[in-house]
């Protein structure tokens, strides 16, 4: 049941990936068909992250109000409406509204999926299951990249509906998050859901008691508001989650992800080949990573990942430096591709999934809605800022851009060593005892 529930939830992650991967392969075709200027297409592209910011802010309260499943239903519905609008679009307004709606659904999924999985999974393989969220996002992006080179953009929009529909229908087959049911005081449903998830024969008394105790302690605490996040007792978990989100995004991932094809083009490497290698590498490394999360722990993976990001940025910077100064020209495309692949490989090995895994574990449940929504908002704001500034930075200085990203990733290493605790193999309640004593 845990696997089925996780599978249904990560259909949402796949939907998220297919939204994110849509604009890259379709850019030329959409601009030709609807005769858009580059500015109009840039707006279409960036509305996704804007919609996702709204989705991120509202998904916390929605998931607290109507449950984790209810929030996933809302996300699926928004995505379906958005894809249909894009499919039927005759002009720029319908196209943009569709993009905004898929963005909203995507932002809401990005918050609620890791939270739902962390709340239903047994502690021994919670990390691996939460990592599935990232694997399916990567797979969604990669599938969009590859299918997008084979079909028209309208057909690609229709294909985008499939994972949303699968998620929507699958939600009828799985239980609600037991921790949410306990928090709402629905005790009979809570026990039934937990039993369904752990199996008929399993002894759930201890786990049920731990969750109930923890929820009762929380009930004595006042309802969380935005300003409560800056209270002394929460400041550490807020700093950890927000810090990881900032470093994940400002290390340059979305600039590199959205404009991979133009980076390869500038470096003189065949674009289509580069995109396919990129797509496959991303999925393979993220997938290899899932079984390791609960063995190696979150912290070592973050450190290895951030170190690789610094190396990848520096190799890419060297390649562009040689290109600008007309040195060793034959080495430029090779270095650029090696740099980008080291970067993507390293990102997929830790910095991609771990901030979401840690975010789903680190907040006490009474501030989880507000804090998780805010952390997701910070992440999306970073995604927007980086993807928006990337082209301006590249025209200022191509190698300078990657040196800046290398410096930010080097700071991330220090941040992880000093601030981030290890959470593997602990229950969510034990993590709270360590982080917010």
3-state secondary structure of 36: coil
- pLDDT score for 352: 87
Whole-number percent of the chain with pLDDT over 90? 42
For position 286, what pLDDT does the model report?
Answer: 82
Backbone angles phi, psi at 256, to 5 degrees: -70, -40
Residue 132 — pLDDT band, cuts 50, 70, 90? confident
Over range 289-308, report the average pLDDT: 89
Instruction: Give the per-residue pLDDT at 249.
Output: 95
Tokens of 187: 């005790």
* 328-364 residue pLDDT tens: 888 888 898 899 999 999 998 889 889 988 988 898 8
Nearest to 316 by CA among 281, 341, 346: 341
Looking at residue 171, what DSSP letter applies?
G
Q: Kindly state the DSSP code that residue 184 receives in the 8-state scheme.
A: T
Q: Does the structure show a pLDDT above 90 at 135?
A: no
- Tell me which residue of 235, 208, 203, 94 sits closest to 157, measured CA to CA: 94
Contact 428, 120 (CB under 8 A): no
Location of structure tokens 């990337």: 390
Q: Which distant-in-sequence residues (6+ apart) come within 8 Å of 28 by Cβ?
A: none
Residue 427: per-residue pLDDT: 86
CA 408/CA 69 separation, integer angstroms? 37
């Amino acid at each position: 049941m845990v696997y089925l529930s996780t599978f249904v939830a990560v259909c949402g992650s796949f939907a998220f990936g297919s939204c994110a991967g849509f604009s890259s392969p379709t850019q030329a075709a959409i601009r030709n068909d609807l005769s858009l200027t580059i500015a109009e297409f840039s707006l279409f592209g960036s509305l996704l992250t804007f919609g996702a910011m709204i989705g991120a802010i509202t998904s916390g309260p929605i998931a607290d109000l109507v449950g984790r499943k209810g929030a996933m239903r809302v996300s699926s519905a928004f995505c379906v409406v958005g894809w249909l609008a894009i499919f039927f679009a005759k002009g720029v307004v319908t196209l943009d509204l569709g993009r905004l709606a898929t963005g909203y659904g995507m932002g809401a999924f990005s918050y609620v999926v890791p939270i739902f999985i962390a709340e239903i999974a047994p502690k021994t393989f919670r990390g691996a299951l939460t990592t599935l969220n990232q694997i399916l996002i990567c797979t969604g992006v990669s599938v969009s990249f590859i299918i997008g080179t084979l079909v028209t953009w309208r057909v690609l929009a229709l294909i985008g509906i499939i994972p949303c529909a699968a998620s929507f229908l699958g939600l009828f087959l799985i239980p609600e998050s037991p921790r949410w049911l306990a928090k709402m005081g629905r005790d009979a449903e809570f026990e039934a859901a937990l039993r369904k998830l752990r199996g008929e024969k399993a002894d759930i008394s201890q786990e049920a008691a731990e969750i109930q105790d923890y929820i009762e302690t929380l009930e004595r605490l006042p309802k969380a508001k935005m300003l409560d996040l800056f209270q002394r007792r929460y400041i550490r978990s807020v700093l950890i989650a927000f810090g990881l989100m900032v470093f994940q995004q400002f290390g340059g991932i979305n600039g590199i992800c959205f404009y991979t094809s133009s980076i390869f083009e500038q470096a003189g490497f065949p674009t289509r080949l580069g995109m396919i290698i990129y797509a496959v590498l991303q999925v393979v490394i993220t997938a290899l990573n899932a079984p390791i999360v609960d063995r190696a722990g979150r912290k070592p993976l973050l450190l290895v990942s951030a170190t690789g990001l610094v190396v990848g940025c520096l190799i890419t910077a060297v390649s562009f430096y040689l290109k600008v100064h007309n040195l060793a020209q034959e080495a430029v495309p090779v270095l650029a591709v090696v740099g980008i692949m080291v970067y993507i490989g390293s990102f997929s090995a830790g910095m991609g999934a771990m901030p979401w895994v840690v975010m789903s574990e680190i907040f006490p449940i009474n501030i989880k809605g507000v804090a998780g929504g805010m952390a997701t908002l910070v992440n999306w704001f970073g995604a927007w800022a980086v993807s928006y500034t990337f082209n301006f930075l590249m025209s200022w200085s191509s190698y300078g851009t990657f040196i800046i990203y290398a410096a930010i990733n080097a700071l991330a290493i220090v941040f992880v060593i000093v601030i981030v605790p290890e959470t593997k193999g602990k229950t969510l309640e034990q993590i709270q005892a360590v982080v917010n004593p």
